[in-house]
Structure 1
Amino acid sequence: MNGRPSDPPASSDGEAGTSAPHAKGAGPGDPRPGAFRRLGLKIADLTRELADIAALAGENRLALTAMEPAAAAFRRMIEAWAAAPDAFAQAHTELLARHTDIFRAMSAGEPSHEGDRDRRFSDPSWRDNPFADYMRRTFLAQAAWSENLAWTAPGLSESDRRKAAFFMRQASAALSPSNLLSANPRALKALFSSEGRSISEGFERLQRDFDAGGGRIRPEQSDPEAFRPGDNIAVTPGEVVLRNELIELIRYHASTEAVLATPILIFPPWINKYYILDLTPENSLVAWLRDQGFTVYIISWKPADETTRSFDWDDYLRLGARTALGHVAAAHGSPPHAVGYCMGGALLCVLAARLAQEGRTQDHIGSLTLLAAQTDFSDPGDLSLFADEAALRASAELIADSGGVMPGEAMAEAFNLLRPEDLIWRFVEERYLLGQPPEPFDLLHWNSDQADLPGPLHMTSLRELYGANALAQGTFPAEGTIVGLEHIDAPVFIHAARKDHISPFPSVYRTLQILRTQATFLLADSGHIAGVVNPPSAGKYRYWTNPEQPATAELWLEGAQETPGSWWPVWSAWLTARSGAQTAPPPRTEDAQPAPGDYVRIPLPAPSRRSRA
């Protein structure tokens, strides 16, 4: 690498980088030629830097992506269309018709509202500049047409359709004119108004991100120095009441004088940190439950390291789920309401099934709540692309090359690919084309705060849940036996989010069809995060309820009642009805470490520190 791009030479005016005044002509005293020369030299330097970065980046394979199997499906899609030339000619005619409509509309001065809610084209310059407006309209038409090719290719399997469509979405997201300096009017305006400073700072940031990523380019989503657990996030007062090599169990006392007898124990996912449920005082689910009179416990998972990298599901059951549940039940003399979020919900279901097999449910679980948690993986959406045999082999190789752990940054790459426009290319534009530094954003900080996972745990999740759908089929291996959803005998509250791209609503709804116990289903608005974290004080979104349990999610929604606002009060009422009488709060633990504990503060290791086991 050549280091920082060289500074532009000083102009005849004496100061490098001084903005040139506007003038109608370029006369002898016009400073613009010097400004453009400086800009040209700067761009030449930056182009050489980019070539260096691209050459090195080409040596590094993007970890844990579905691009190889998706690319193979894309090739089969091309072959399918090649075998049906008449059908492809018709599809191509439709594309030409779309372009003709765009040209006619622009010639007539007709505005286009397509993509109005697309963040990439929200700047007015995309509509004010005719060239940019044409690029925007034709790109959106081409992207929609290209993805439709995957879904309508003759003779293609459903699996290949999904993979090819995924490939098309990734390609379209990457080729958006918003990612190109020469086609992005917002970036061009910044380039000329700053005399190249915006792109210079962007390339410097690109080089820093490349170096920090160990050869992978990961634009920062949020200011990494803006948030610290315990300082300005995860600040609800609590105490660590139990610690072992896998978990810290944190207790939050109710903020009310009278306390409900049945506590709540939350199993968060282990892919990110637990504090998504205690992000800020304004949107903390933990704090809100305290205010309703509940004593709340939550598990903080330790990121995988040399002592836990060999852990599998049985270890997470024994040292995590069973240990935490036993502690809470013993401390309160009553079984808690157990709550599982995302993959934490799958772990909770396995534990509940095992306790039912042992005849011990009544002593350990008062109720189950599943928050945006898939348990039937027969159609898990685009995440299925990461569980076919090619992706499994890639994951196993990556784990072997990373000392036995699945790197957290690889998991982040996979999830970011599910929403590439918002979680990848948006930040490419902001950081590298506009030269903008990352702003503080608590949710995006959490999204970037990943944890390494034990290799066996991750591979079992892929093979048994996403691959074999073992939990729904009643064949999930746990503690020397097999379990399934049908074994669960505690009452269950099932939450889904309508726009969830990680745990799709129809997939979550299928849990209701498999359970043989009393179950309540609620659908919240928004996605995987905002569909869960929606405090009543925000006055946002809506939710749907329906006591009937028809065969499909679509039929359930047709008969559901829509209610504006947060779903939290409905859930709290459901829990309260099963929580017994009010009682005195449990005693506090002397000399306990304050929340949020130590494990949540463990960062990912630097890429250079990852080594083969």
Structure 2
Amino acid sequence: MTTADTTGGAPTGENLDKLTANLRKVEELSERLTKVMTHRSMHNEALDGPNQELFQKAASAYWTEALRDPAKVLEHQLQFWSKSVTHFVEAQQALASGKLTAPPDPGPSDRRFANPLWDTHPYFNFVKQQYLINAAAVEQALDDVTEMDDPEKRRLAYFSRQILDMMSPTNFLATNPDALEKAVATEGDSLVQGLENLISDLEANNGELIVKLADDSAFELGRNIATAPGKVVFRNRMMELIQYTPTTKTVHKTPLVLFPPWINKYYILDLKEQNSMVRWLVDQGHTLFVVSWVNPDAAYAGVGLEDYVQDGYLAAIEAAKAITDESQVNAIGYCIAGTTLTLTLSLLKQRGDTSIKSATFFTALTDFGDQGEFQPFLTDDFIDGIEAECADKGILPSIIMARTFTFLRSNDLVYGPAIKSYMMGETPPAFDLLYWNGDGANLPAKMAMQYLRGLCQRNELATTGFDLMGHHLTLGDVDVPLCAIACETDHIAPWKDSYRGIQAMGSKDKTFIMTQSGHIAGIVNPPSRNKYGHYTNTDLNLDHKAWAEGAEFHDGSWWPRWGKWLKSRAGAQMPARDPGDSAHPVLCDAPGTYVAIKAKP
């Protein structure tokens, strides 16, 4: 409650005190903003957008189209002009009627425009409708461009969409009714808190704007996430190896070694008890080892894929074999760790080493012939920029990768959270998945370029072969029993590309499962949730479209189906094993020490 205004509009009483306090806060925040932007860390400019050549080609192609078919281009221009003028006239008529109502036909549904004022208030409705008209005109112009190669056109479409998303009226205070209503209701407190949130995010990332998606103060590793009981039983410069405490009296003889991606932390598979794959696998009677990768700094600049194979995969497999006194392990590779598991399998095949009994791949790409949504970032101008960044810093900083991944879903992972945090002053939610998403890791310079140039750009593993550790590695070398799980709506590792790589492998015993949902939710899909179903088809000779058309749908999680597959390859039962042995003493409790190392911006 505030005191009444008796001075012709001047603030008095509580209003004046609040205004003074807010102005003082704004002054302090302005000083912090100046400081952080003055000392911000810089990155290579090539990482901020495509070079001008792309847009020059687009303009040239558009005008070539205009000369070849001027009537078509003129028709589209006239449609845009007509819609814009008609829209303006309708808005004027609505205002002239004396009623504060928008014209009929509020336009297409869009989550960004959920506030009723976008449809009922003539000002906000006009702004929304004109934005949608402009966006449609740009998209039509893109469709009309025919004198560009398909990869370039896809790239143009991606960056044009980024510009359109950035220019949405919801992203500006003056044209966002939610933010304006909140500012009025809180007497400006929301804007001050929003500025505090913005500057805090800038300070946390040395001037780089990365929107915080989760309240990181709500989580602590080992307390309320990554809590499955286990012990670190091996450590080297590349990884810590965690052996989990058994929960069954007997276990399968063949141990299970899980290799998570090193772009993020392993605990995506152990967020909480209800959805922990780690706990589920232990409950199924497996002696489970999980690799927790180091978060590299500049000292790791010369570390390559060969180091991940030698000091990661091979070291972990040898430790697991020694601790369990077994000659073979079953291996799992998730995302980039699945790609590298393929390299390891080819290497072991050529060496005559049968240490891996079976392999499971989670959302793993081995054939990068179709680069999907990452295609805009795999052209030479971007990769050259990444190479320069790596040469300068010795690593590909986690912040660069985080920005790339989030802009693939910019409205959900950038602009939406930014509006809530910076315009409305809201605290990010206490969401464990988003906390994990923000807990990224750096990549060593050498490894990053091997992956981007050799595997992604040149697609060597699926075509000519990939040279590593004195061997020429190919997909055809992979001949162990394998099971691959891909996700139907995965935008990072599209299922059809994962399927194509599995088809090229030399194994005679292959199982392919496509689960509903995406890169994370499709994998972290415990049976207890009964949320996403999955598809199976035993004929892997079909192309991906025919495979999907002939696939059988199954309700529920794919975990039990895979669990049966794994059980048949896990050996007989024996008394449960405690973590470690005399040669591999317990070093510390899970989740270990490497997982706690944060990526420094």
TM-score (norm 2): 0.88
Give the match for residue 236 of structure 1. Answer: 228
Counterpart of 2:176 in structure 1 is 184
Q: Which runs of 5+ in 2 are unaligned?
A: 92-100
Q: Using the alignment, how far apart are the partners of 1:554 and 1:45 within structure 2?
A: 57
SS in 2 for 1:76: helix
Q: How does 1:246-325 map to 2 (within 5 A)?
A: 246-325=238-317
Residue 124 of structure 1: CA displacement?
4.3
Structure 1 residue 123 displacement after superposition: 4.1
> Could you tell me which of 525, 532, 556 is aligned with 2:547?
556
**How many angstroms does 1:489 deviate by?**
0.8
- Does residue 225 in structure 1 map to residue 217 in structure 2? yes
Rounded to whole Å, the distance in 2 between the matches of 1:471 and 1:182 is: 52
Q: Provide the C-alpha distance between the structure 1 equivalents of 2:240 and 2:30, rounded to a whole number of angstroms.
A: 45
1:496 equivalent to 2:486? Answer: yes
**Local SS of the residue matching 1:182:** helix
Alignment map for 1:208-219 (pairs within 5 Å): 208-219=200-211
Q: What is the distance in 2 between the residues matched to 1:546 and 1:255? A: 34
Which amino acid is 1:454 matched to? Answer: P
In structure 1, what residue type is equivalent to 2:319? H
Q: CA deviation at 1:64?
A: 8.2
Structure-2 separation of matches of 1:604 and 1:280: 23
In the TM superposition, what whole-angstrom CA distance separates every residue of 1:177-212 from its partner, at most 9, and x where no partner exists?
A: 111101111000011111211111211222232233
Q: Is residue 593 of structure 1 aligned with residue 594 of structure 2?
A: no
The aligned residue for residue 8 of structure 1 is none
**Aligned with 1:419 (options 398, 409, 422):** 409
How far apart are residue 93 of structure 1 and its match? Answer: 4.6
Q: How does 1:365-380 map to 2 (within 5 A)?
A: 365-380=356-371
Structure 1 equivalent of residue 49 of structure 2: 68
Output the amino acid matched with 1:344. Answer: A
Equivalent residue number for residue 94 of structure 2:
none
Amino acid aligned to 2:526: P
Deviation at 1:136, TM superposition (A): 3.6
Farther-moved stretch of structure 1 (231-240 vs 507-516): 507-516
Mean Cα deviation higher: 175-184 or 143-152: 143-152
Match of 1:479 in 2: 469
Structure 1 residues 567 and 581 mapped into 2: Cα distance closer, same or farther (>3 Å)? same
Residues in 1 aligned to 2:252 and 2:228: alpha-carbon distance in whole angstroms: 19
Q: Deviations over 1:289-336 (max 9, x none)?
A: 111111211110001135433110111111001111122233331422
CA spacing shift, 1:478–1:133, aligned 2, 3 Å: same
SS at match of 2:173: coil
Deviations 1:242-269 (A, max 9, x none): 1011110111133222212222211111
Aligned to 2:97: none
Structure 1 distance, partners of 2:514, 2:27, is 50
For 1:29-68, list aligned pairs within 5 A. Answer: 38=19, 49=30, 56=37, 67-68=48-49
Q: 1:161 to 1:46 in 2, by over 3 A?
A: farther
Q: Which moved more, 1:513-522 or 1:319-328?
A: 513-522
Partner of 2:520: 529
2:568: which partner in 1?
A: 577
Higher mean C-alpha deviation, range 327-336 or range 295-304: 327-336
How far has the Cα of 1:521 moved from its partner?
Answer: 1.0
Aligned residues of 2:365 and 2:493 also touching (Cα < 8 A): yes
Matching residue of 1:82: 63
Q: What is the letter of the counterpart of residue 599 of structure 1?
A: Y
Partner Cα distance (2:117, 2:287) in 1 = 52
Spell out, residue by residue over 1:379-424, the C-alpha distance to the aligned partner (whole angstroms, 9 max, x if none): 121223323221122112212222x111111111121121111111
The answer as to whether partners of 2:339 and 2:366 remain within 8 angstroms in 1 is yes
Name the residue aligned to 2:504: 514
Q: Which sits farther off after the overlay, 280-289 or 552-561?
A: 552-561
Q: Greater CA deviation, 26-35 or 499-508?
A: 26-35
| Structure 1 residue matching 2:441: 3-state secondary structure | coil
1:126-145 equivalences under 5 Å are 126-145=118-137
**When the two structures are superposed, what TM-score results if normalisation uses the length of structure 1?**
0.87
Contact residue 71 and residue 167 of structure 1 kept, 8 A: no
Q: Does 1:164 align with 2:156?
A: yes
Corresponding position of 1:611: none
- Decide which moves more: 59-68 or 269-278: 59-68
Cα-to-partner distance string for 1:422-473 (whole Å, 9 max, x where unaligned): 1111221011111112221111111111112110000110001111101111
Whole-Å separation in 1 of the counterparts to 2:181 and 2:427: 17
Which amino acid in the other structure matches residue 212 of structure 2?
Answer: E
Gaps of 5+ in 1: 1-17, 608-613
How is 1:354-365 mapped onto 2 (pairs within 5 angstroms)? Answer: 354-361=347-354, 364-365=355-356
Counterpart Cα distance in 2 of 1:58 and 1:262: 54
User: 2:329·2:358 contact (CA, 8 Å) conserved in 1?
Assistant: yes
For the aligned residue pairs, the C-alpha RMSD in angstroms reads 3.1
Say if 1:192 and 1:290 are closer, same or farther in 2 by CA, change over 3 A.
same
Paired positions, count: 579
- Which is further off, 236-245 or 552-561? 552-561
3-state SS of paired residue (2:218): coil
Distance 1:69 1:281, change over 3 A: same
1:6 is matched with: none
1:493 to partner: Cα distance: 0.8
Partners of 1:61 and 1:148 in 2: how far apart? 37
Identity %: 34
CA 19–299 in structure 1, closer or farther in 2 if over 3 Å, else same: farther
Which amino acid letter does the alignment assign opposite residue 429 of structure 2? E
CA distance in 1, matches of 2:328, 2:365: 24
